[in-house]
Amino acid sequence: MHFLYPTFLFALAVLTIPVIIHLFNFRRYQKVYFSNVQFLKQVQEQQASRRNLKERLILLARLLALFFLVLAFARPFLPGKNAAATGKQQIVSVFVDNSYSMQVLNREGTLLDEARRRAKEIGSAYSVNDRFQLLTQDFEGKQQRLLSRDEFNDAVDAVKVSPQSRTLQQIVDRQQSLLTRQQGALRAAFILSDFQKNMTGRQPVITDSTIRYNLVQLKASSLPNVAVDSVWLLTAVHRKGEGEKLVVVLHNYATQKAEKVPMKLLINGEQKAQGSYSIDARRVQLDTLAFSGLASGWQRCEIQLQDNPVTFDNQFFFSFNVQQRQSVLLIDGGTTNTFLTKVFDTDSFFAAKSVSDGNVDYSGLDNYPLIVLSDVKSISTGLAQQLKAYVAKGGSLAVFPAEDADLVNYKAFLQSVDAGWPLQLVAEPVRIASLNLQSEVFKSVFENFPGSPDLPEAAKYYQLSLSPRGENLMDLTGGQPFLADYNSGRGKVYVSAVSLADSYSNLQRHALFVPIMLRIALLGGHDQPLFYTLGQSGNIEVAPFQTDQKQVLKLVKGSQSIIPDSRRDQGNIRLYVGDQLQDAGIYDLKKQDSLLSVVAFNNSRSESDMSYLSPDNLRQDFHQAASVLQPGAASIRSEVADLNFGLQLWKLCIILALFFVAAEILLIRYYHSGKQVFSPSKLS
């Protein structure tokens, strides 16, 4: 047996006080004279023996009452597995899971309410000299300091729901970052959570062997839940008044089938589509919503599900821009290519601008989703560098070599952008053999593709080098590429094997030329993501715009305004929001009072899966290095104390002390030494 406060054992010296009182009985006796004490002597000897027994029993009761009272203050215990260095100051890190799944109701309210109460019970199991860390999903900087017990309780009361969701390894690493700096103290870590399966990774949790880990699992029932995981639009460029198709990814996270879940699509507050869907258990289902009649400008969109009782993931936000017009830059060798200008004149949506290769405004290249380079004999070094940077940032470049192109110059440029280049001029007639109908360029061009199509012909062509990063859009007889596209950085490069001159081919006069160029233009440009995920999106990229250091960018939602850190990266603007954003929804990106973009944020769907780890799973993840506590309705204070100090005996000592005090009272009150046989009045 060990003692938490062994210095209190010096108080056992008080046991001498009742002994002294017993040995020196200062009670005064009155002398009574009798004429004949022959018979009285025998009675007096019998009473004295019984009186001595009573006094000794009372003395023993007093000694034991004082003994157990002193032991209670010394806090005796039988050592447990964590009580090797009891008496030192303890540093305790308590993680309270405040993710969205903790909003689920149980018999005592929400799981978060129970987690707050359990955290306070843990704090009460330690002494007032111990120090505490309160950690939540937010991982705030202020949580990396130690608190007294009163400060800890106040901080627990202030914990609110957070959109963040951390893994067990991230939580343990964060706790260890503080605890490992506390040398010379006992260190313990508690994790209070429902322990969803999404909290674990593929590898077991790596822990510090000097820290005691305790996992408090709060029980929640498995609930049905359907959520929208993602969405995407089938069209790359969105035009005013045209029809759109939205693909919605519905996920049933429950173990039973979801029947007829209502869903509706709102755009700018107006309902555009609705439906009702049934999804099998644990399945993902894709559904398509069609809508039209959009005006130009930014579209603020929201998908709403009616799915109870889990409601935190019933909304999904996204945004996109319906353009009024799209700009195209045509760079030529000094003579405007009439075929290209006429292609883009066929659709008022496009605004084509023609410039010679010597008069290009390099600072404005990012404003053009598509640049077409044609009839340029030799690409200058400056233009080549700017076009390379333009493609790397996400622009689309179409290259039609000149009739007498400098092949060495073209090789140097096209090789730098990871595209195929002209190897040599092949002066023999050839026919286009096939189209790649699976490519993005041709995917939606034909309703029915004829069996014997009329395809362009070439009188001569440049043989293009083969590249693993390329995809042939049109093939010549023999398998040589006629038109190919290549991935370069974040952009695309389209390279033609022929010049747009009549001496090379009839491509520029063929009916396919118009849809090919318009599709390439529609597929080009900066495409902002439809949505971001809170806590997972490190940075936000927006379309380039002119700004200076004095102009502040703001993300605005209603009365909420956030100033993100903005940086320019290769011409694009990247915004870093960190943990400033806590609420899902649609935010306006503003430069002073002008609207630059509309950005949508959604909560992570990792919290949507209401399935939980078992105690055995948790022990395996921690290599059996953690204690798993599953509290019922009772307090876990005593269970925590038993883990840290072993089996506590002070309550038993209090009970025994009270028992012997009661025994003393009963002895004094009811234990009599005997009745007098003779009275002085009768013997006189």
Residues 350 and 348: their CA atoms lie apart, in Å, by 5
Where do the CATH 3.40.50.880 domains begin and end in the chain? 332-523
Would you give the distance in Å from CA 161 to the centre of its chain? 13
Q: Give pLDDT tens digits for 394-434.
A: 889 999 999 999 999 999 999 999 999 999 999 999 999 99
Q: Give pLDDT tens digits for 186-209.
A: 899 999 999 998 888 778 899 998
Tokens in use for 416? 């730098």
| pLDDT attached to residue 93 | 96
Residues 298 and 121: their CA atoms lie apart, in Å, by 51
Q: Please give the CATH number for the structural domain made up of 532-602.
A: 2.60.40
Asked if pLDDT for residue 246 goes beyond 80, the answer is yes
Q: Which residue has 């799973």 as its token pair?
A: 617
23-46 CB burial, b ≥16 within 10 A, e <16 = eeeeeeeeeeeeeeeeeeeeeeee
162-182 CB burial, b ≥16 within 10 A, e <16 = bbbbbebbbbbebbbebbeeb
What contacts 183, CB < 8 A, 6 or more positions away?
none
Q: Which CATH class is domain 90-222+611-645?
A: alpha beta
Residues 150 and 128: their CA atoms lie apart, in Å, by 9
CA distances from 604 to 100, 345, 534 (A): 9, 45, 6
Q: Give pLDDT tens digits for 602-629.
A: 988 888 988 899 999 999 889 888 888 8
- Quote the percentage of the chain above a pLDDT of 90: 48
| pLDDT attached to residue 102 | 92
The band of 115, judged by pLDDT with boundaries at 50, 70 and 90, is very high
CB 266 within 8 A of CB 302: yes
Tokens in use for 120? 């306070």
Q: Which CATH class is domain 226-323?
A: mainly beta
Query: Which of 13-27, 378-392, 666-680 has the weakest average pLDDT?
Result: 666-680
| pLDDT attached to residue 80 | 60
What contacts 632, CB < 8 A, 6 or more positions away?
none
Where do the CATH 3.40.50.410 domains begin and end in the chain? 90-222+611-645
Q: Please give the CATH number for the structural domain made up of 332-523.
A: 3.40.50.880
| pLDDT attached to residue 269 | 93
| pLDDT attached to residue 683 | 42
Residue type, 415: Q
* Nearest of 122, 114, 78, 3 to residue 639 by alpha carbon: 122
The per-residue pLDDT of the chain, averaged, comes to: 86
Tokens in use for 517? 């160029």
Q: Give pLDDT tens digits for 464-503.
A: 998 888 899 999 987 889 999 999 988 899 999 999 999 9
Segment 436-451 mean pLDDT: 81
Task: List beta partners, residue 626.
Answer: 213
* Nearest of 600, 604, 105 to residue 308 by alpha carbon: 105
